[in-house]
Amino acid sequence: MTGTDRPPPPPSPGHAPPESVSWRSLAVPAYGPTVLVSIGQGAILPLVALSARDLGASVTVAALVVALAGLGQLIGDLPAGALAARIGEQRALIGACVLDALALLGAFLAQSLVLLALAVLVTGLAGAVFSLARQAYLTEAVPVRMRARALSTLGGTFRIGLFIGPFIGAGLVTAFSIQAGYGFAAVMSLSAAVLTAFLPDITRQSRADRAASGVAHRTVWSVLAEHRRVLLTLGLGVLVIAAARSTRQSIIPLWAESQGLDAATTSIIYGVSAGVDMLLFYPGGAIMDRFGRVFVAVPSMVVLGLGFVLLPLTSTAVGIGAVACLMGLGNGISAGIVMTLGADASPAGHRSQFLGGWRLCADLGNASGPLLIGAVSLVAPLAVATVVMGGLTILGSGWLARWVPAYAAGPHARLRRRTGRRRPGP
């Protein structure tokens, strides 16, 4: 039997999540801290560049300071996996929230650009730990039959928080100062830490079962090396998903500005698109659980790709708004797809280590999408860059059609078992 057709090893006893769990039991432990943290993040997202400018940064330097949060996430992904595996998901969540609150306090007190930049970088590190631990926490807590809905709802609650946060931040800045936004975000992170600490650990039993079954602790690198095939195949598809999503966030305002739309009109277009995005996270999860992950992964990328291709054909607010809503549809229906595919592919007993590498794939995509648009725009019009991104996204949908059924759990996994088809090994 070759390395490409051997079946995956059977799960060790006690590694599977419980088969019966209620949404009510998950609501506060799983989603409460996420809502609090995401509202705080939403409140400061528009403020970081303004704070940097107030401290004397040029526009370019201010943009670099904003980008440090993403860099922090990239740096923190693999260490986050090691930390969560070593101390447990709940403790990692508490530590991440406390670290985030301290970093935000630093931003609140920052009187120099260097201190502000360091604080933003640390919020990215904390975000990497929080995101990974939250994903691993839910993966352990829910059965496979409702995994996609649970993780899509997690993605949806995060988006709702990011939507609400800027309005709260705007009110605080108007009433007090920019620093008030950082203070509010710090309070939200501390509240999330306290909430997590006082809630029952719904993954404690699965960790106890792993310990009882004698599963040895492994390093992140050894786990990633063993499962390198899934990272180089399905992980590449996830990189394309993340790149398309992050590019969508920047390309719509850029295109609207290039067509002469004012900032207010652009904001309305973006807000309506975000509203469409937020409404569709649960239906997307339900489709994944009922029919299979591929029925969301592939269509969502096709829709996003078409949006990129159609955008250069628009020149009015109505046309741009229609395409933005189409892209919001594609993005919204795929909420949670990256986390769900990562949970499906993660090895029982070593989820956190694997998910560190998985989230690194996604965060590389988040960074590379806008960079690709910038690079192509240096030598060609913005319309060409947009179409190039659309073509890559549609090609990526084909790649996902090939590899999602090979690794994903859910209905298609059951079909493979009935027909005797084997999932590729690492």
Residues 34 and 86 in one domain: yes
159 and 92 part of one domain: yes
Q: Residue 168 is part of a domain; what is its CATH number?
A: 1.20.1250.20
| H helix or E strand, kind and range, residue 225 | helix 220-226
Distance in angstroms (rounded) separating the CA atoms of residues 100 and 96 = 6
Residues 37 and 160 occupy one common structural domain: yes
CA 371 vs. chain centroid, Å, equals 18
Q: What is the pLDDT of residue 214?
A: 54
Question: Do 339 and 412 share a domain, yes or no?
Answer: yes
Distance between CA atoms of residues 266 and 118, nearest Å: 31
User: Are 397 and 357 in the same domain?
Assistant: yes
Q: Which two tokens stand for residue 114?
A: 């260097």
Say what the pTM is: 0.81
* Inside any domain, residue 319: yes
> Measured between alpha carbons, how far is 291 from 207 in angstroms, rounded to an integer?
30
- For 159-218, the pLDDT digits (tens) are 888 888 888 888 888 888 888 989 999 999 999 999 988 876 655 555 555 555 555 567
- Both tokens of residue 179? 């620093």
Q: Is residue 17 part of a domain?
A: no
Of 145, 179, 203, the residue at which a domain comes to its end is 203
Residue that is written with structure tokens 């996604």 in the block: 362
Query: Per-residue pLDDT tens for 149-162?
Result: 888 888 888 888 88
Give residue-wise pLDDT tens across range 328-374.
999 989 888 999 998 888 887 788 889 889 989 998 988 888 888 87
User: Domain total for the chain?
Assistant: 2
Question: Are the beta carbons of 144 and 9 closer than 8 angstroms?
Answer: no
> What confidence tens digit (pLDDT) does each residue in 211-257 have?
555 555 677 888 888 888 999 999 999 999 999 998 887 788 888 88
Q: Which of 153, 178, 203 is the last residue of a domain?
A: 203
- Asked if residue 41 belongs to a domain, the reply is yes
Q: 45 is in which domain, residue-wise?
A: 23-203
Return all residues near 216 (Cβ < 8 A) that are at least 6 apart.
Answer: none
CA-based R_g, the chain, Å: 21
Among candidate residues 203, 233, 251, the one where a domain is terminated: 203
Distance CA 215, CA 201 (A): 20
Average pLDDT along the chain: 82
Q: 114 burial class (0-12, 13-18, 19+ CB within 10 angstroms)?
A: exposed
The candidate with the shortest Cα–Cα distance to 353, out of 169, 53, 84, is 84
Same domain as 340, residue 238: yes
> Looking at the structure, do residues 229 and 101 belong to the same domain, yes or no?
no
Inside any domain, residue 157:
yes
Is residue 341, in this structure, part of any structural domain at all? Answer: yes
Rounded-to-integer distance, Cα 406 and Cα 201, Å? 32
